[in-house]
Amino acid sequence: MAISVTTPQAIQGFIINATSADASGTETLLAGVADKQIKIRHLTLNNLTAGALSFTLSGAAALLGPVSIGAYSSLQWHFSPWMELAIAQDLEITADAGSIMVFCQGFIQ
């Protein structure tokens, strides 16, 4: 899987916009930071292909998923309280082969 990750300017925290024309495997969306946790407030997953895909969002272990999403569909979550990764863990996504888009917003503390 080759994923392109952009990080638009955020006044506070982070914003991730990631796309892949051929999702197939595990990719890092945001690298972990020593002695800190990634905390996620909002997540949108988009399937841009003609068939269903399966996504898993993970750190040290699966945080969300596997989630099956239909063709040309999107799923959104707004976490309250924040979804937290373990300390120093990378935020990763694993997906089936297909075209995907991921939008994620949160902060590192």
What phi and psi values does residue 92 have, to the nearest 5 degrees? Answer: -125, 155
Q: Which fold has domain 4-108?
A: Jelly Rolls (2.60.120)
pTM: 0.87
**Average pLDDT for the chain:** 90
**In this predicted model, what pLDDT tens digit does every residue of 16-58 receive, in sequence order?**
999 988 878 888 899 999 999 999 999 999 999 989 988 888 8
What is the pLDDT at residue 1? 59
Residue 17 contacts residue 6 (beta carbons within 8 Å):
yes
pLDDT band at 10 (very low <50, low <70, confident <90, very high): confident
Instruction: Find the helix or strand (DSSP H, E) in which 43 lies.
Output: strand 38-47
Give dist(CA 79, CA 85) in Å, integer: 13
